[in-house]
Structure 1
Amino acid sequence: MHPAHTQRPYRLRFDWGLSGAQATGEDADVVVVVDVLSFTTTLSVAIEAGMEVLPYRWNDGSAARHAAERQAVLAVGRLAAGPGEISLSPATIRANASVPRILLPSPNGSTISLLTGARGTVVVGAALRNFSAVARWIAHSDASRGRTVAVIAAGERWSDGSLRPAVEDLWGAGAIIRSLQAAGLVDASPEAEVAAAAYTAVEKDVPAVLRSCASGRELIEKGFAEDLEIAAEIDQCPGVPVLSDGIFVAAGA
C-alpha cells in the first residue's frame, strides 16, 4: 500500500470496504462503518430496541455455535429467513424487539466492524437513521480526543466477490462527514469532501433516491420494500452503536 492511501495527515477520511478501513483507520481514533441497506440500519434498529449485537463473518460455519456460546439469537440472510425469524432485514428486528442479543453476520458492514474492532480501534455503526447522533457522540467522546475519524462505506459485492461501490453507502458516509464537519472536524481529505458533496446532492429527497438506486430496486424486487422505508427514516434514531469487547451496545449503556 502506498502511504498516500492512508489519507494522512487529514483527520477526517473516507474510503471503501475492509481494505479502505485498514488503510485509513490504522491510526484513527474512531472508524465509522456505514452499510445503509443492510447491516448498520439493522444495527441501529436493534440498538434502539435495547438489543446487543454481535457482528460476525458471513458464511462462517461456526456462527451457530458462536451464537449459542454467547447466548445470542443467530440472524440469517434475508432470503433464508422463515416466518418470525430474525434476519439482516431491519423489519424483522422490529418484529422481535424483545430479543436481548443477536449475532448478526453480513459480508460487508458486519465483517468490517468485527475485523476493525479486533485491532483495538473504536468502531461505530452509522446509517441514514442516526448520522447526527453518531456525529455528536464522536465530537464529544473521549474516544475522539485525537479527532482522527475514518468513515468507511461498506459497499456491496459483485457475483465474483469483488467490491461493488454502493451509492447509498456513499450518501450515508457523506451525511456523517458533513455532520462531523459542522461539529468542528474540518480537516477533511478530498475523498471525504466528495462523499459529503454526494449527500448534499440528494438530501432533499433521500427516500426517493434510495428507492431508485440499484440496491434499492434490488430490495424492492426481492420483496423488502419495508426495509427501504426504515433505512429512509432520516436522522430519526438517537442510538449510537459502539463496539465494545466484540459486542455493539448503545453509547452510554
Structure 2
Amino acid sequence: MTVYQQDHADLRLEWGLEGVHALAECAVLVVVDVLVFTTTVDIALGRGGRVLPLPWRDERAVEAARAAGATLTRGGLAGIERQDGLRADSRPGWTLRPSSLVELPAGTFLAISSPNGATLSAAAAETGATVLAGCLRNASAVAAAAAEIAGEAPIGILPAGERWRDTPEKRLRPGIEELFGAGAIAAAVTGRRAPSAEAELAALTYRAAETRVVELVAASVSGRELVEAGVPEDVRLATDVDASDVVPLLTDGVFAAR
C-alpha cells in the first residue's frame, strides 16, 4: 500500500489511467467521463442498447468488436472523423456523441472507442473490480448502486479528464465537467465513514456549485469545444442532472443496464 492508493479511505477518487492503477484494490470503480463517453453510455442503455468500450486506437480491439457483432461508432470530436484509418461501420448518425443516440433502436449493440472514458473502462475491468459508468445524468442512481454493491469495501471514483489536443503528448487535462460528475456521485454515496480528501473535496465542490452546474459546464473549455464543433445538444444532455436512473454495469466487457 502507498499513499497514492488512499488506503485509509472507503470512498476514494483519482484521475485518469494512473487513477485506475492507484485505486485497483477498490471493490467498485466508477468511471466518469461527462463530455462525453459515460453520458453516451447512459443514453444508449436508456434506449435499451448495450455498449462495448474499446481502448483508443487499438485495431485488434476493433476487429474483436466486429467479431462479437457490435457496430463500431464513428469517433472524433464531432463524431464524424475516422480514427487512424479504421473505418466505422455504415450506420447513419451513430457516433460517440450522445445526441446521435437519442433514437437508438432497442437491442442495438455498439462498440465505442474513446481516449478517455472507454479506455479507462477497459482498463478498470482488468482490475477485477465491479465497474460502473457514471455521469451527471445518473449520478444518484450510480451512487446508490455503488454503495449497495461495495457494502463496507471501498469505492473508487475515476474522473477521466480530457486531453490537451495541441500538444504532442496529449497529456491529461482535468476538466470541471468531470469534477462535477465525480463530485455529484461522491456527494450521493451513502454509508461511507471515511472519504478521502480528494473525494470529499469533489463532493464539496459539486454541492457549492450545484445550482450553476449547467452554466459552468457550458462555459468551460470542454463545453465550448463541443459547441464550436457543432454539437451543443451534447452539452445540454450531459448536464441534465439525475434525469436518468440507468446504472451501466460492465459485465464480460460490455456495459448493460443493471
TM-score if structure 1 supplies the norm length? 0.92
Does 1:55 pair with 2:61? no
Q: Following the alignment from structure 1 to structure 2, what is the Cα–Cα distance between the partners of residues 86 and 63?
A: 19
User: Does the 8 Å CA contact 1:63/1:74 hold for their aligned counterparts?
Assistant: no
How far the C-alpha of 1:211 sits from its partner, in A, is: 0.7
What pairs with 1:99-114 in structure 2 (closer than 5 Å)? 100-114=108-122
Correspondent of 1:218 among 200, 216, 225: 225
- Which of the numbers 61, 71, 74 marks the counterpart of 1:73? 71
Deviations 1:149-176 (A, max 9, x none): 0101100111322110111001100000
Rounded Cα–Cα distance in structure 1 between residues aligned with 2:226 and 2:61: 25
Counterpart of 2:140 in structure 1 is 132
SS at match of 2:52: strand
**SS at 2:59's partner residue?**
coil
The CA deviation string for residues 30-71 of structure 1, in whole angstroms up to 9 with x for no partner, is 000000011100000011111111010112223442222111
Whole-Å Cα distance in 1 between the matches of residues 91 and 232 of structure 2? 17
Deviations 1:177-200 (A, max 9, x none): 0101xx221310111111111111
RMSD (Å) for aligned C-alpha atoms: 1.6
Shift of 1:6: 0.5
In the alignment, structure 2 segments of 5+ residues that lack a partner are: 83-89
Q: Which has the higher helix share?
A: 1
Aligned position for 2:199: 192
Q: 2:181 matched to 1:175?
A: no
1:156 match: 162
3-state SS of the aligned residue for 1:102? strand
Q: Give the equivalent residue in structure 2 for 1:30.
A: 28
- Mapped partners of 2:198, 2:62: distance in 1: 38
Instruction: Give the corresponding residue for 2:125.
Output: 117
Partner of 2:152: 146
- Give the structure 1 partner of residue 18 of structure 2: 19
Matches of 1:186 and 1:80, distance apart in 2? 46
Runs of 5+ unmatched residues, structure 1: none
> CA separation in 2, counterparts of 1:174 and 1:125?
14
Counterpart Cα distance in 2 of 1:248 and 1:88: 15
* 8 A contact 2:183–2:204 mirrored in 1: yes
- Select 2:250's aligned residue among 235, 239, 243: 243
Residue 10 (structure 1) aligns with: 9
> Which residue does 2:92 correspond to in 1?
84
1:84 offset after TM fit, Å?
2.2
Q: Measure, in 1, the Cα distance between the counterparts of 2:4 and 2:10.
A: 13
* Distance (Å, rounded) in 1 between the aligned partners of 2:106 and 2:248: 18
Moved more, 238-247 or 191-200: 191-200
Identity fraction in percent: 38
8 A contact 1:84–1:92 mirrored in 2: no
CA distance in 1, matches of 2:148, 2:61: 35
Q: For 2:245, what is the secondary structure of its paired residue? A: coil
**Aligned-partner Cα distance in 1 for 2:12–2:32:** 13
Number of residue pairs matched by the alignment = 245
Distance 2:195 2:61 in 1: 38
